[in-house]
Homo-oligomer: A and B are copies of this chain.
C-alpha cells in the first residue's frame, strides 16, 4: 500500500520496520511526543532527538489559531520555525471535535471550531485541513475525522463514522504529493463490526497509512484492545498503523502485540510536570515526601540527563521550589523512557522474543493484557 513503509521483521502480529518521510526515517514501533504548540513542553528539540525520538506530533488546528499558518509558512515551514529538522506528523483538529467546548458546529461540509484563546471562529473543511497541514510543511498529514466520546449513542456514532468516511474521500482527493504522506483515520465507535467496517473503508482509499482514532477516550481497556484488534484486521500489513493517543507502557506493548506501529500521547510530559516519573517498575512520584531524602536517580538503568546526574531528592527539591528545571528533567526522562520502551520492542520483535519482552515489562508494573 504505502511505498514509504517497510516492515523488516515480524513476531506474531507485532512488527518492526521503517517509515520513510521527507525529513528522515521513523523506526517503528515509534512513540511521538506531542508538541501541540510547536514545542514539546519544557524541552529543546535537540534534547528530544537525543532521547531517541524520530518524529513529533504537532497540532495544525492549534497552530492555525496561534501563531497562524501564514507566519509559519513565511518562517520556512514548521520544521524551521520550531528548530526540528526531523519528521513531523500534524493532527488535523479532528480530535478537538470530541471536546464540545471547542466546537461550534459540525455539518457535512466542515467543522467550525471556537478558539480557546480568543473565542474566534475557525471553519475548516476536510480539504482545508489537508492544505493547512501541507502549508505547515508536515511530513505526515492526518485527515479531518469526526471522533465521538465514549458513551455516545449508537446512531450518533454511525453518523460520525460515515461522515469521517466521506471526509476521508475528500481529503484523499487533495493529497498534496511532493513526498508528503497522508494518513486516513478509521473510526467506528465501540462495536467490533463497525470498527472493522470503518477500517476496511479507510484502508480502501489508498492512504499512506491508517490511523485508529476515537479510542482511549474513557472506555474499558479490554474494549479498547478489542476495538484495536478489530481495526487492525482490516488494515493491510503493508500499511503503517497508528493508534492515536496511547498510553501506558502496558497499553503500548499490548497494541504493538496486535500489530500497531505508531503512537502519540500527551501523558508522559503531563505526568512529568506533575512530578510523576515513569520507570519499568511503575511511577515514581517526585512530589512525595518519600523522595525528600532519596539520593538515588529516578531509574539507575536510564541514560537520560536527569538520571545521569540528579537524585530524586534534588528533583523533589526543585518541584517544591517551583523550579522549571524539574519540569525539564522529568519531561526528558519520561520521553526517554518511552523511546527506550519502543527501542526495546523493536529489538525484541527483530529477535523474535517480543512476547517475553512484553510479559516482563507488563509484569513488572503489575498489569498484563495478554
Contacts and interface: CB of A to CB of B under 8 A. Distances in A.
B318 A37 contact: yes
A83 B310 contact: yes
A154 interface: no
A317 B328 CA distance: 19
Contacts of A92: none
A39 interface: yes
A265 to B, nearest CB: 18
B324 A67 contact: no
Interface stretch (A41-49, A175-183, A347-355): A41-49
Interface string A14-56: 0000000000000000000000011101111000000000000
Q: Tell me which of A321, A325, A327 has the highest count of chain B C-beta atoms within 10 A of its own C-beta.
A: A325
A63 to B, nearest CB: 9
A82 B326 CA distance: 12
A328 B293 CA distance: 28
Secondary structure call for the A interface: helix
A122 interface: no
A71 B292 contact: yes
Contact of A327 (B71, B293, B320, B324): B324
Contacts of A295: 74-75
Nearest to A83: B309
Interface string A52-95: 00000000000000110001001100000111000000000000
Nearest to A331: B324
A243 interface: no
Nearest to A327: B324
Nearest to A322: B37
A71 B289 CA distance: 13
Contacts of A39: 318, 321, 323, 325
A324 B295 CA distance: 27
A311 interface: yes
Interface string A327-368: 111000000000000000000000000000000000000000
B313 A67 contact: yes
Nearest to A74: B295
A280 interface: no
Contacts of A38: 314, 317
A305 interface: yes
A325 B43 contact: yes
Contact of A305 (B44, B293, B320): B44
A321 B38 CA distance: 10
A191 B38 CA distance: 54
A312 B75 CA distance: 11
